[in-house]
Structure 1
Amino acid sequence: MIPTNTGSLTGPDRIPLYSTEFADDPHAAYERMRKIHGALVPVELTPGIPATLVIGYAQARRILNDPLRFPADPRVWQQQAPASCPVRPMMEWRPNALRSSGAEHARYRAANTAGLDAIDQHGLRALVEKVADSAITDFRTTGRADLVSQYAFPIAFRVLSTLLGCPDEIGARIADGMARVFDTTDAARGNHILDQAVADLVTLRRHQPADDITTRLMAHPAHLDDREMSHQLITLYGAGIEPLTNLIVNTCRKLLTDEEFSTSLHAAQSTVRDALDAVLYTDPPLANYCITYPPYPADIDGALLPAHQPVVISMAACNNDPELTLGLPTDAITGNRAHLAWSAGPHTCPARSHAYLIAETAISHLTDAFPEMDLAVPTDELRWRPGPFHRAMEALPVLLPTTR
């Protein structure tokens, strides 16, 4: 039986989640964490910013389903976080569903859900296929491509911009700002770029309404003002570009490096959806997030989580909790969607079906076009981008047959 907590959640010896070493092999780090600390781990998100990382599946579900003891509102915490803190833009309070509780959370979530639910799924699939075709055309005859910059990112960016009614010029600024925020290397500058770009999109759609999510948010009975509108769009872009890009890339990586799974897919014994869920278990695009801020010291299995200190759910570690998988066959996750990659409780991702559709269509289109695609470098030369929250590759270079 793994202990719940054998280390201190308030002491100075914290595990850094921002290092290159952690990015290179987080699963080995999670295993070491369990042996020392159990389900609740004292970590640093960036130098000087402490948090508790939850790596136990059962504990994570309890926290995610207890918004009274574990609200998502960070306003007290951020009073002690300097404006220059590189992770603050990913964690600070915004008037949106992700960082609100109670009636305000319900109001924001209702507007977002209505905007997303109005998306036509057949039209979305056709849009992804069109964008994927365009990306493939750009590199079909070159013999090689980087699936991050030349395929997954353009699809996520162009599809989301179309759904939101965002022109390319504004969308490019939003994508630039969002990448800086996720990487936490130039986050303050990224936050500024992001704020200005989404404000410009709101102004545009106030004057020129169209059939898109932005216009539907404006027309919703929640009566969102311009500031609230901007922050809904930041949330949608935050969930829709970087994580979706990483989901597509991480799944392509699995298909390129897991020969058994790739063979199973080509033999029609498994599906792209199975590959997506396998990745959502092992390398979800947001590995550590779903942040809450308990207003009082909170007891979890006898351990006190400090008040107003971030509690971060490690979806990657929780999904692979030995307590969850004990006694199960190694292929038990195939077709299983009990993972926490979409979160759980009141903050469950409302765009899950859309993300599945976009990623599945993009990957299927690519594998149909290049069934004999191979990695262009040895597996051990692939590099993960450091950062406390995401699971993201720097590049995924592939060799492509050019005789089709």
Structure 2
Amino acid sequence: MEVHRLTASGGGSLETMAVEPLLTRDYDSRPSLVYERLRAKYGPVAPVDLLGVPVWLALGYSQVLEVLRNQRGIWSKRLSDWTALAEGRVPRDWPLLPALEVNHVIFQEGDRLRSLRAAYYEALKPFQDAAHPQGRQLRDAISRSADELIDVMTEGGGRTGLVDLCAQYARPLPLMVVDHLLGFQSGRGDEVLMDMWRVLDAGPDSAAALERLLAALSELGAAKMARPGDDFPSYLLAAYPELTVDELSRELMMLVGVTGDHTGVLIGNTIAEVITADSGARDSLSMGMLRETVNRVAMVNPPMANLTFRCPTVDTRLGDFTIAAGEPVFLSVAAAHHDPAFAGSMHSDSVISSRAHLAWGAGPHECLGRELATTIVTIAISRLFTRFSSLALTLPADQLPWRSSPLMRGLRSLPVQYELAEGAVPAAPPASRPAEASAPSAPAADGGGETARPSLWRFLRSLRRGGR
């Protein structure tokens, strides 16, 4: 293999190199082939074009892990350390900028990062501990929300029917859980949930949705400062009282976006794995086994295929190149998991997967909500396969549509034919219910009673009717 080398003293730079686009049609359909081609040409680190901006793509498992661990303290996530961006050489309309410029914990370093992560740990601890009252209430809320979504999917449809388990189940469930965590009152969380979808979809109404979302989260943050409750924002403020309303709203937006999107993708990918796998996972579901199934899916199809940029603060060697200080390195977890040095030691038919995968990150920025996300996914899968005796794809597995983006990779839709389990009663059709107010409802996070979700149920029912 030809070895490519670029030294900082040799007069070259990333911006003067010939780079090839990363996000191609091949990447959409078979990203592993793109990783393989780049690895064969450049080695474990490759120069690529990302939506018109040149970046380094780390493909090798050891290289990605080295940057994540950051044991030398030279890999920064602060955007101010990206030279091209600081000097105005990244277009202001570059599609990834809005996601990168929200200044929250993901893009902090040093003492600020350590203080914020310590506060996150304390704020999440009650919810991630199954023995804590908040942990028990959260698990009840996840199960209840899962059952409500299944009720809406199946109402009026008899014992069999067709549904899209991504749009009608995997996607809304985590955001309903986030609604519980945030402690919204009087159904306001329903509006935030719908606006978060609009932002994640990056459609024509995303800008207005983002404005409404931040306003709602600022209003929530101010309310929690004035009257704390038993919810994540209040716990975060107790652990980090110096946060301003603006800072708190940005942290809450990170929680909504990452937990909602990342966890929803993992639910969809796990459902597909359980339905299509030859390992017998469907016939041996238990909470213990299911956690290993989720772990395996996170390795094979990590929801966040590529992690946000790191820039070295000094010139440093990575793979076969010397990366100049201030040049952005995109970390491909998905490519690292396909690295023969890592994948070669895995058995694809094993139910028990390696815990050495990088889907949750590693080092100073490792995901603090791993247990929370895993809990949401395992309960979601458990309730689904308890309520249904049969779930069969309506498309060949290799024709399922994947949603690829610079960061995320998950199923765009998961169309299945279902059969309700013995003893399960089909939900009543909408006409038999005394109007929208009696639609399934989720409890307020503060335990203050039932909150109707008419907007969400109307939206999900429209999907159901369109699919039948």
TM-score over 0.5 for the pair:
yes
Q: Check the 8 A contact 2:390/2:420 in 1, yes or no.
A: no
Match of 1:51 in 2: 55
- After superposition, residues 180-259 of structure 1 pair within 5 angstroms as 182-183=200-201, 191-258=210-277
Partner of 1:104: 112
Q: Secondary structure at the match of 2:389?
A: coil
Tell me, in whole angstroms, the C-alpha distance in 2 between the residues paired with 1:347 and 1:353. 15
2:171 is matched by which residue type in structure 1? Answer: F
Q: Which residue in the other structure is 1:66 paired with?
A: 70
Aligned-pair identity (%): 29
Q: Which residue of 1 aligns with 2:23?
A: 18
Q: Distance in 1 between matches of 2:190 and 2:330?
A: 30
**Residue number in structure 2 paired with 1:274:** 292
Structure 1 residue 171: deviation in Å?
3.6
Following superposition, the deviation at residue 150 of structure 1 comes to 1.1
Letter in 1 for 2:261: E
Deviation at 1:378, TM superposition (A): 2.8
> Which residue type is aligned with residue 271 of structure 2?
C
> Structure 2, unaligned stretches of length 5 or more?
7-12, 128-133, 423-468
Shift of 1:172: 4.6
Q: Which amino acid aligns with 1:92?
A: E
Deviation digits for residues 250-278 of structure 1, max 9, x if unmatched?
111112222x13x2440469922222112
In structure 1, what is the Cα distance between the partners aligned to 2:111 and 2:163?
Answer: 47
Going from structure 1 to structure 2, the CA distance change for 1:178 and 1:76 (only over 3 Å counts) comes to farther
Q: Distance in 1 between matches of 2:225 and 2:207?
A: 27
Per-residue deviation at 1:202? 1.4
Distance apart, 1:43 and its partner CA? 2.0
User: TM-score normalised to the size of structure 2?
Assistant: 0.78
1:306 and 1:121 map into 2 onto residues whose CA distance is 46
Mean alpha-carbon deviation: is it higher for 330-339 or for 277-286? Answer: 330-339
Is 1:368 the counterpart of 2:368? The answer is no
Residue in 2 that maps onto 1:85: 94
Deviation at 1:333, TM superposition (A): 7.4
Taking the aligned partners of 1:194 and 1:130, their CA distance within structure 2 comes to 25
Distance in 1 between residues matched to 2:373 and 2:3, nearest whole Å: 34
- Change in Cα spacing, 1:139 to 1:191, as seen in structure 2 (3 Å) is closer
Q: CA deviation at 1:32?
A: 1.2
Matched, 1:114 2:122: yes
> Once superposed, what is the RMSD of the aligned Cα atoms?
2.7
Name the structure 1 match of 2:9.
none
Divergent runs of 4+, >6 A:
none
**Cα separation, 2, equivalents of 1:150 and 1:327:** 37
8 Å Cα contact 2:308/2:407 also seen in 1: no
For 1:12 and 1:182, locate their aligned partners in 2 and report how far apart those are by CA, in whole Å. 32
Task: Give a deviation string over 1:155-191, Cα, whole Å, max 9, x none.
Answer: 1011111011134765455445544554556665564
SS in 2 for 1:279: helix
**Does 2:356 match 1:338?**
yes
Say which is worse superposed, 334-343 or 374-383, in terms of deviation. 374-383
Larger-Rg structure: 2
Give 1:123 shift: 2.4
Deviation digits for residues 70-94 of structure 1 (CA, Å, limit 9, x no counterpart): 0111124343333322101222250
Are the structure 2 counterparts of residues 85 and 290 from structure 1 closer, same or farther at C-alpha, using a change threshold of 3 Å? closer
Amino acid corresponding to residue 107 of structure 2 in structure 1:
R
Counterpart of 1:131, as a letter, is: S
CA contact (8 A) 1:97 1:108 kept: yes
Give, as a single letter, the amino acid of the residue that structure 1 aligns with 2:114.
A
User: Which residue is 2:463 aligned to?
Assistant: none
Report the CA distance between 1:329 and its aligned residue. Answer: 3.9
Alignment correspondent of 1:356: 374
Compare 331-340 and 102-111 and name the one that shifted more: 331-340
Question: How far 1:392 moved relative to its partner?
Answer: 2.0
Alignment pair present for 1:124 and 2:133: no
Unaligned runs of 5+ in 1: none
1:325–1:18 CA distance, 2 compared to 1 (3 A): closer
Which secondary structure state, in structure 1, belongs to the residue aligned with residue 57 of structure 2?
strand
Matched pairs, number: 399
Structure 1 residue 294 displacement after superposition: 1.9
1:144 aligns with 2:154: no
Counterpart check, 1:299 vs 2:317: yes
Cα distance in 1 between the residues matched to 2:412 and 2:92: 27
CA distance in 2, matches of 1:402, 1:179: 29
Alpha carbons 2:178, 2:260 under 8 Å: kept: yes
8 Å contact kept, 1:166–1:201: yes
Of residues 104-113 and 202-211 in structure 1, the stretch that sits farther from structure 2 once superposed is 202-211
Whole-angstrom CA distance in 2 between matches of 1:132 and 1:90 = 29
SS in 1 for 2:368: coil
Distance 1:268 1:279, change over 3 A: closer
Aligned mates of 2:320, 2:410 — CA distance in 1: 34
Which SS does the other structure have where 2:411 is aligned? coil
Letter in 1 for 2:125: D
| Residue 382 (structure 1) aligned with residue 390 (structure 2) | no
Aligned in 2, Cα 1:328/1:24: closer, same or farther, shift over 3 Å? closer
| Residue in 1 that maps onto 2:36 | 31
Larger displacement relative to structure 2 (78-87 or 341-350):
78-87
Q: Secondary structure at the match of 1:241?
A: helix
Q: Which residue of 1 aligns with 2:332?
A: 314
Report if aligned partners of 2:296, 2:352 keep a CA contact under 8 Å in 1. yes
* Partner SS for 1:98: helix
Residues 222-248 of structure 1 show CA distances to partners (whole Å, capped at 9, x for unaligned) of 421112111211221122100000000
